[in-house]
Amino acid sequence: MHATTTLTRYDADLDGPVLGMPGVTALVEVLAERGVQFEDVLAGTGITPPMLRDARARLSHRQKMALFTNVQRLSPEPAIGLVAGQRQRISDFGVYGYGVVTSATFGEAVDFGMRHVRLAGPVFEKRFRVEGGTALFEGTPMFELGPLLPLLTEFWFSSIYTLMGKVLERPFEARALLLPYPAPAHAARYAEVLGCEVRFGAPVMQWQFDAALLALPLPNANPMMAGVCAEFCARMLESVEAEPEVVRAIKEACLASPSALPGVHEMAARLHLSPRTLHRRLEDAGTSYQAIADGIRQRLAAELLEQTDVGMDEIAERVGFSDVSNFRKAFRKWTGRTPAETRAALRGRKD
């Protein structure tokens, strides 16, 4: 069998605030446990300690490269990328992570992950395909990484291995990992952490596993909720390439945690802008911060109303309202109808 290749490309803008923080937090925490101070790891990056505890904070590729440069220079642990990757959690990835873990099969989880991986803050351009009985993940750096390539590669593969294990609720069994750089001094740690043969000095970056795993049913499958997550992610990002960078950054930050959207001053700080500059840029783009936030909440609420039987209290909480009556008022203001009326109308349209 030869499956169609899935290729995920990204804009390699080095200064746009488009990357998430989960991996950054894991790296800094592992270093702190080994006696390295937060201030030293973050020096010169523009990343502040409060951002490390905020899953919605964003940073640029340039900031991420500066951080990894510090990590590589300061770490007393040569396999820091492998160790930090083992700290990853599904909950760190918001709607994206929930969509992966609730997929019906492992193959659907891989497909969802590839289609929406932009939300996870990628550094590598990713490709997935099936050839015969072998499934292949491949990666290509989006820009020149130089001496940081091994560290970033270790962190990426260790993170994915950890997340796959959580999705499957069993160790992920790969056949081989091919890497395009010489074996480092700690090469033996790769096989220990990733559980497969590792071949250094290869012409490609490629992870091979048995394609039969793609048919495995997932223990936390909820196809209805996975569908809601997929539709929501796709609709929110379908025109992202045509949008101004500031709008895209806000949408991706909010999408990571729609139940706890930051205020405009907090969002401005995350984007390294003054509130006045943020307002001006959004005005130039023909929108406002409140309009973007309300649009995200409204779309997610509508998806949940139409596609699930989740109660109003839970929907209100998921879209950021502590009180269901305030949610009803806001939803009526957005749409002119109550949530209950909308649910009935949407379901009637499908019948």
Question: The domain spanning residue 200 has which CATH number?
Answer: 3.90.1520
The closest alpha carbon to 343, from 297, 295, 296, 311, belongs to: 311
Q: What is the pLDDT of residue 48?
A: 82
In a domain, 91, yes or no: yes
| Whole-number pLDDT of residue 16 | 62
pLDDT of residue 22: 58
Q: Which residues constitute the domain of residue 323?
A: 239-350
Residue 9: the pLDDT is 42
pLDDT at 238: 58
Same domain, 17 and 110: yes
Report the pLDDT value the prediction gives residue 335, as an integer from 0 to 100.
Answer: 84
Task: Specify if 247 maps to a domain.
Answer: yes
Residue 176, in any domain of the structure: yes
Q: What is the 3-state secondary structure (H, E, C) of 12-43?
A: CCCCCCCECCHHHHHHHHHHHHCCCCHHHHHC
Alpha-carbon span 152 to 82, nearest angstrom: 9
pLDDT of residue 230: 74
Structural domain count of the chain = 2
- Do 112 and 103 form a contact (C-beta atoms < 8 A)? yes
Structural domain contains residue 227: no
- Output the pLDDT for position 79: 95
Mark which of 164, 183, 215 sits at the end of a domain: 215
Q: Are residues 190 and 290 in the same domain?
A: no
Distance in angstroms (rounded) separating the CA atoms of residues 109 and 112: 5
* Block residue for tokens 């490390």: 52
Domain assignment of residue 16, yes or no: yes
Q: Is the domain of 155 the same as that of 247?
A: no
- Mean pLDDT for back-to-back runs of 10 residues, the chain (351 residues): 41 58 77 91 86 69 87 94 89 74 91 71 76 89 80 92 92 94 95 96 93 94 79 62 72 65 79 85 85 83 79 85 88 88 73 46
Q: Is 231 contained in some domain?
A: no
Report d(CA 174, CA 324) in Å as an integer: 46
Are 76 and 186 part of one and the same domain? Answer: yes
How many beta carbons lie within 10 A of that of residue 2, not counting itself?
8
Q: Report the pLDDT value the prediction gives residue 6, as an integer from 0 to 100.
A: 46
pTM for the complete prediction?
0.66
Contact 85, 154 (CB under 8 A): yes
Q: Is residue 301 part of a domain?
A: yes
In a domain, 221, yes or no: no
* Domain containing residue 293: CATH number: 1.10.10.60
